[in-house]
Structure 1
Amino acid sequence: MTKLRSRSILKGAFILTLAGVISKIISAGYRVPLQNLTGDMGFYVYQQVYPILGIALILALYGFPAAISKIVSEIGEDQSSLSVPSFFLPVFGWLMAASGLIFIVGYTQSAWIASLMGDEQLTPSLKAAFSTFLLVPFVSIIRGVFQGKNDMTPTAVSQIIEQIFRVGVIICTAVFVMQGAEVYAIGVGASLGSIIGALAAFVILFYWIARKDSIWSFHRWQNHKTYKRTIFLHGILICLNYMLLLSLQLVDALTMIPSLLKAGVALDDARIMKGVFDRGQPLIQLGTVLASSLALALIPSVTRTRMNRHPEKVIKSIISAVKVTVFISLGATAGLIFLFPAINQSFFENGQGTGELRVLMLVILGSSISITLSSVLQGLNYIKHTAMIILGGIVVKWAGNMILIPIFDIYGAAMASTIAVAFVLVGNIVTLRHEVPWKKWMPLPWRGVGLSLLGMVISLWVMKTTIYVFFDLDGRLLLLIYTLSLTGIGALTYLVLLLRLGCFTKEEIQTLPSHKVLAKFLPKGMNQ
């Protein structure tokens, strides 16, 4: 029975991880056409409201559902079905109280927040963004119930549906802006997209739970607890562990324009500079998702109970997950830094901000490893510790922006983000040392990784030099083909070198897709 339950949990984690990767790729991908349609000014407006929309999304997808699933799991041992008057109504009431409070404070203070951001024209966009919190309880409670029953499919399907509707509305708004509408309409359109996406997700979820009448009943329980502590404390702590990148963007939204104005930059120029800086966000998100997606599937298999029973086995799986994350994030970071001039011109129309964005790409390395480590620590019941480390990172980012942007402009913002992520990474590493001793990390194949990175960069340089000698890459389409080709060649070269230099064990290869093909590239003796 325990084995069947473990398999069910792992299968559910895989479904959620896959849905998360797909939705995050969609979320990262649409921002390129959005910037192309609305320009850096429109992209700036969107990125000013995006952190607020992102907080609502994380609450509805991770924070509150995780807290509710914890409650449902605890109740499940005593009750075969969930009571509408004793469970659904009180839980929904607490969710609405939390979300409603955020909506009321945010909506009424939107003008002040816009003033704090240095751009009062953002007020209508901020009001629309805070309105999305009113829908959070509706999707959260149903997702949490299904997750508590180890049924992850409704959450996964609703997540993808929500993203498709949201992105569709945003792109339609961008086309509307391109045809002559006020550029600040993109902020309202982004919020409207989130609202429509949440409504679509709720319709799917409600249809799902309406068919499962065995899950709920109208029988009132004689003894029932208050759910307030679990919803607020557990839900918010879980949210913080998913908000590393989002929190950095929120700090930038609040401080970058005022800091640039303090440095003597004109308001219009500051808005454009912020839009240019935000070009790096979809690339960071995509790189981080690809590098840390395996770690998100690891959470259910790394628990305090398993650590106490089989410490060596759990430590081995932790090291393997971190190792894979380090390999992928190192390759993605190095490749993006090398190719960024071409990426900037082919994806974002021109080469503005290339130097600053190259510095910002270092965030991928730190954030990917940090998310993996915090996922592991979360499974080992270090939720409060990792949340406090994230809060510390936010303070470091805020202080870095206030000090560095007036001196170095957006270079300063990139430096502050890198320092903040490094702070979080070090904090997670120090916390994990209580479970995984330092000596366990020493045998990792650092030399092989270094040689693989060097080989990838040399191959990219040779290909780049050869192509520029024989071809004139005049035009974004040719640059795009060139960029995608070199990205594929670089990734393939890096992977083959990692395999040939023995950076992966045969056991680790067997957990990866296409493991039979990959095993052929292992050194002799390892591929038997």
Structure 2
Amino acid sequence: MSRKRAIIKGTFILTLTGFATRFMGFFYRIFLSHTFGEEGVGLYQLIFPIYALCFSLTSAGIEIALSRCVAKRTTLGQEKEARELLYTSIIFTVIISCITTLLLQKYAWFISSAFLKDERCAELLVILSYAFPFAAVHSCICGYYFGLKMTGVPATSQLIEQVARIMSVYLIYVFGQKNGITFGISIAVAGLIAGEVVSSLFCLRAITGKSMSMRKIRPGLPSFGRNIRELLFLSVPLTGSRVLLNVLQSVEAISIPLKLQAYGMTNKAALSTYGVLTGMALPCIMFPSAITNSISTMLLPTVAEIQALDDQREMSAIIKKVVSCCVLLGSGCCALLLLSGSWIGTFLFQSPAAGSFIVTLAWICPFLYTDNTLISIINGIGKTTLSFVINAIGLLIRIGSVLLLIPVYGIRGYLWGLLASQLCIFLFCIFYLYYYLTIRRKVHRGQTPAGKGV
């Protein structure tokens, strides 16, 4: 299959899956908001920074490192070594995940009271902890298939995870209703576990169904140690970047309800506002980004290949096409949400506040949908540290708006900061890519010594 055809096929599959899961998730959040109320959704959203942080520590870096290593091995015709890397990564991440599970259970109350500032989250964290070993298996197998440039299994597992999550929560809720049992938002956290369990079992079945029994791919002790070193060499920087970004996001998420109380809201009102923003308005804004996320996933290796070929004309063309398409998509979504945002909030979520947030957040769409692809291009040309710095600057702007603007202007201050951060990321990326392409053109024309690239 040609490179162009593989990109189009992979993007189509991932986009279709992304839309399907977001569509289901959209109505799932409506169900949660109607069933458990805005405060319940706020508590549910409050634990997600911890979820993201633990996942980054246990699986995220390994998944990306495994994908790169597998792609290299298969290119060299070393399929057996690629499968050994998969086995090694599963063992390593499951061990780390089990340790994380035990630690999270032990310190759940401390994390809830000291960091999340709400002791009711302790029970939710204990339940959440059981998801990580299964998420590790799911993540490693998806990383392996991405390395093979085969998106079918990861896409299907994503769909299965979402369906299992929603159906498990709904069935538990119906069971409670029929038997006079009242369940809290904790069943939504249990749904996360159900989704990871079912999707990991599907991925294991896909792997073993490919004539790859665990006996055939089990590496010896020397190769196991060698694989661990290779994976850690690649994954530790990636994990460090993800963890630092998640810490900054956690600070932001924890600070929003606290600063809303400083603005004058009660604890309940602050949690409700936070739940409306993160559980209703933002998912609505993020819905169309399934397209740009899919493009980004397939774009990174394409940009890396074009850079290796040193084809600056094609590099310039693909950047212009991607940026133009994403800005056009974002502008169309902005106009649509400005016109229908109030109706979406009132009719679908039964929350006028959600409608107001959606209308305000609509202005970030042109930048939000483009920034992800721009960051992917920068990663593709090898500037991963720069992409981390740009993302960190955007997050620092958002945290600054939380600490400085929310106490004065309320949640509107944060929305302004969110717009400013996305705009800054967009401008940083555009300016750097313009600089990069200009320098490379000069190098090709002999105007700059070849050793002075960017």
**TM bucket, shorter chain:** 0.7 to 0.9
* Offset of residue 330 of structure 1: 1.3
Matching of residues 348-363 of structure 1 within 5 Å: 348-352=349-353, 354-363=355-364
Q: Distance in 1 between matches of 2:65 and 2:289?
A: 25
365-374 vs 292-301, which moves further? 292-301
The residue that corresponds to 2:202 in the other structure is 204
Q: Distance in 1 between matches of 2:63 and 2:117?
A: 35
**Partners of 1:56 and 1:136 within 8 A in 2:** no
Matching of residues 121-520 of structure 1 within 5 Å: 121-172=120-171, 185-186=184-185, 188-214=186-212, 216-218=216-218, 220=220, 224-225=226-227, 226=229, 227-234=231-238, 237=241, 250-278=250-278, 279-290=280-291, 293-306=294-307, 308-352=309-353, 354-437=355-438
Amino acid at match of 2:259: S
Structure 2 CA distance for partners of 1:91 and 1:291, relative to 1, 3 Å: closer
Q: Distance in 1 between matches of 2:120 and 2:221?
A: 51
The residue that corresponds to 2:28 in the other structure is 30
Q: Distance in 2 between matches of 1:328 and 1:83?
A: 38
**Partners of 1:163 and 1:197 within 8 A in 2:** yes
- C-alpha deviations, 1:105-127, integer Å up to 9, x for none? 44333323322333221211122
Q: Distance in 1 between matches of 2:7 and 2:240?
A: 23
**Partners of 1:41 and 1:271 within 8 A in 2:** yes
* Offset of residue 37 of structure 1: 2.6
**Partners of 2:68 and 2:147 within 8 A in 1:** yes
Structure 2 CA distance for partners of 1:365 and 1:32, relative to 1, 3 Å: farther
Considering Cα pairs closer than 8 Å and 6+ residues apart, tell me whether 1 or 2 has the greater RCO.
2
Q: Distance in 2 between matches of 1:214 and 1:203?
A: 15
Amino acid at match of 2:163: I
Structure 2 CA distance for partners of 1:88 and 1:340, relative to 1, 3 Å: closer
Amino acid at match of 1:268: K
Q: Distance in 2 between matches of 1:282 and 1:89?
A: 35
Amino acid at match of 2:65: A
What SS is found at the alignment partner of 2:265?
Answer: coil
* Offset of residue 50 of structure 1: 3.5
Structure 2 CA distance for partners of 1:333 and 1:260, relative to 1, 3 Å: same
- Give aligned-pair identity as a percent: 21
Q: Distance in 1 between matches of 2:49 and 2:14?
A: 22
* Offset of residue 7 of structure 1: 4.2
Q: Tell me how large the CA RMSD over aligned residues is.
A: 3.4
**Partners of 2:292 and 2:372 within 8 A in 1:** no
Q: Distance in 1 between matches of 2:20 and 2:57?
A: 19
- C-alpha deviations, 1:440-465, integer Å up to 9, x for none? 9xxxxxxxxxxxxxxxxxxxxxxxxx
Question: Which segments of 5 or more consecutive residues in structure 2 lack a partner in the other structure?
Answer: 442-454
**Partners of 1:329 and 1:364 within 8 A in 2:** yes
The residue that corresponds to 2:452 in the other structure is none
* Offset of residue 297 of structure 1: 3.8
What SS is found at the alignment partner of 2:131?
Answer: helix
The residue that corresponds to 1:457 in the other structure is none
* Offset of residue 4 of structure 1: 4.2
Alignment match of 1:114 (pick from 89, 112, 115):
112
Structure 2 CA distance for partners of 1:423 and 1:155, relative to 1, 3 Å: same
Task: With the length of structure 2 as denominator, give the TM-score of the two structures.
Answer: 0.82
Structure 2 CA distance for partners of 1:62 and 1:151, relative to 1, 3 Å: farther
128-137 vs 405-414, which moves further? 128-137
Q: Distance in 2 between matches of 1:38 and 1:213?
A: 46
- C-alpha deviations, 1:49-103, integer Å up to 9, x for none? 234445667889965332212122233326331487x645542343235434544
Task: With the length of structure 1 as denominator, give the TM-score of the two structures.
Answer: 0.71
User: Bigger radius of gyration, 1 or 2?
Assistant: 1
**Partners of 1:139 and 1:205 within 8 A in 2:** yes
Q: Distance in 1 between matches of 2:236 and 2:129?
A: 19
Amino acid at match of 1:271: L
User: More helix by proportion, 1 or 2?
Assistant: 2
**Partners of 2:397 and 2:420 within 8 A in 1:** yes
Structure 2 CA distance for partners of 1:371 and 1:257, relative to 1, 3 Å: same
What SS is found at the alignment partner of 1:117?
Answer: coil
* Offset of residue 284 of structure 1: 1.5
**Partners of 2:21 and 2:162 within 8 A in 1:** yes
What SS is found at the alignment partner of 2:78?
Answer: coil
Question: Which segments of 5 or more consecutive residues in structure 1 lack a partner in the other structure?
Answer: 441-528
